[in-house]
A and B are shown apart, each in its own frame.
Chain A
């Protein structure tokens, strides 16, 4: 398992593209098949855009994971933005305060296996999401 640990600062729409490209590369190195690489890249794209829309700047980090005989990847998105007042509401389908599609967080959550949001109003938001490699059907 590659132990490389990369991070991408998010400050403009160009960084969204770099984040999802780097994320996809790492997903490939971790052994994810192309379908899951795409799923991970799409999830990174959504949370990166979320940072840009609400916090203006932040950072996305990712690294490979090993848990017993399971392998996967973790993506952490962190910002010092305004925070999310009601996390469970923000995770509901169709919810958006930005006039967007409301797919950002709930969409990313559906794409990943584990999804955790820690947010404090006025302090920022950290989203941790994980995807595990599916076994048993080569």
Chain B
């Protein structure tokens, strides 16, 4: 199932609606990396609230999305990891080291706005 990607200002928001196959996850990765360029996006939010499991493939793909988007000039935030999903991830030994996470969509947007402001302040 294809993940809808919304463009909101400088940001892209991908909200995962249901369980995803490996092929769906790879498709999401390609789509996001392509759209960061097409829309000149500065930030990407991947909302995983609906995911009831994250296994090694899902985590690796999210990590790839964040790294690829960064190489294309956009910051990624993963939002909505459920408590039991976090528990299972830690037991599996899966981490999202170096990747921004936030509790929910609102916090994710706040994070990107702060990042954007820092960038303007530095300039």
Binding site for B on A (CB under 8 A): 13-14, 16-17, 20-21, 24, 34-35, 37-39, 41-42, 45-46, 49, 93, 100-101, 103-104, 106-108, 110-111
Contact = CB atoms under 8 A, between A and B. Distances in A.
Nearest to A24: B52
Interface extent on B, as a size class?
Answer: 20 to 34
The B contact surface, by secondary structure, is helix
B56 interface: yes
Contacts of A37: 84
A33 to B, nearest CB: 9
A39 B93 contact: no
A122 B54 CA distance: 31
Given A42-B55, A103-B93, 10 more contacts: A35-B84, A35-B87, A37-B84, A38-B52, A38-B53, A39-B87, A46-B56, A93-B93, A100-B60, A107-B94
B30 interface: no
